[in-house]
Amino acid sequence: MVISKDEFSQNAIKAINILKKRPIFEKITSNYPLAIIGDIHGFLDSLIRFEEIATEVSANKLVFLGDYVDRGPFGVEVLNEIFNLLINYTDKIVLLRGNHECLDMNKDYGFYDELLSKIGKEELNLIKLFYSNLPISNIVNDIFFVHGGIPCIECKNKELQINLTNYFQHKNKIKGNNEYLEFKDNVLLQMVWNDPDGSIDWFEPNYMRGDGIYYYGKKAWNKFMKENNINLIIRGHEVVDGFHIWKYDGDFINKIKSNEKFYKDQLNGSVITVFSSRYHLGRAGALVIYEDEIEFIEL
């Protein structure tokens, strides 16, 4: 698939103009089913198969959890396809920002060089605008969607939980600016970088990820859900074999069969990770959420 510079630029501009109208965080009411894809990381075949599944189930919303580029060879093609989806199915597409929607990450993990070789340096400003206008998270019905997870506000006061509506009330002004592009807000940084760990209760530093990044435990995510009136967290970010579930009590399920279904009530209070790239040589996963069930699908 050869994409011209003009095609990529025109699609990027149209997609950015759509994203500019969206808040950094919002609550969405939607009919089911919802189709969910995690980290794509430049693997176009995962995205194409996801589109087929979304069509097969007549998904009402397609939710993208971020990390569209880097690592895999087709980041430009993945972005161009995502632009097209947003342009042609605007009301159905929910795009979120991941930690790899960042030029500093792109320089280390491949997309920066890929963009320069396929499209050219002139389009870097469009990429910056795309990244800095992506929402950070959404609540759809009673489900919180985010790339990484929940943040601690005052991390020494571990039990204090963020109310998303209150916190984001005055944050839309940073969307599209360098403050957001560079993750200068510690809460937003954590939302794309933090990881769950059911073996801990509240928050612990995640030194492997870097300064200011945390693990969040079962008491933290359960209190966060109560504070924000949600029943489930769905996120990407971690390399797993398609899927991983941390249950409300800190127990986990990591051996999930393809096309296996769970009743939603069984998973209330859980944190679900979905990973949709193939660079790790494991399964690429996606979710279809029905009114009463969640299906785990291998791409």
Contact 92, 60 (CB under 8 A): yes
Q: How far apart are CA 235 and CA 39, in angstroms?
A: 9
Q: Compute the CA torsion angle 108, 150, 293, 38 (nearest 10 deg).
A: -10
CB count in 10 Å sphere of residue 25: 22
Q: Among the options 100, 147, 237, 244, which is catalytic?
A: 100
Give backbone dihedrals phi and psi of 99, rounded to 5 degrees, phi first. -70, -20
User: What angle (nearest 5°) sits at the alpha carbon of residue 107, between those of residues 103 and 110?
Assistant: 115
Biggest CA pair distance of the chain: 52
The answer to whether 147 is a known catalytic residue is no
- Return the active site residues: 100
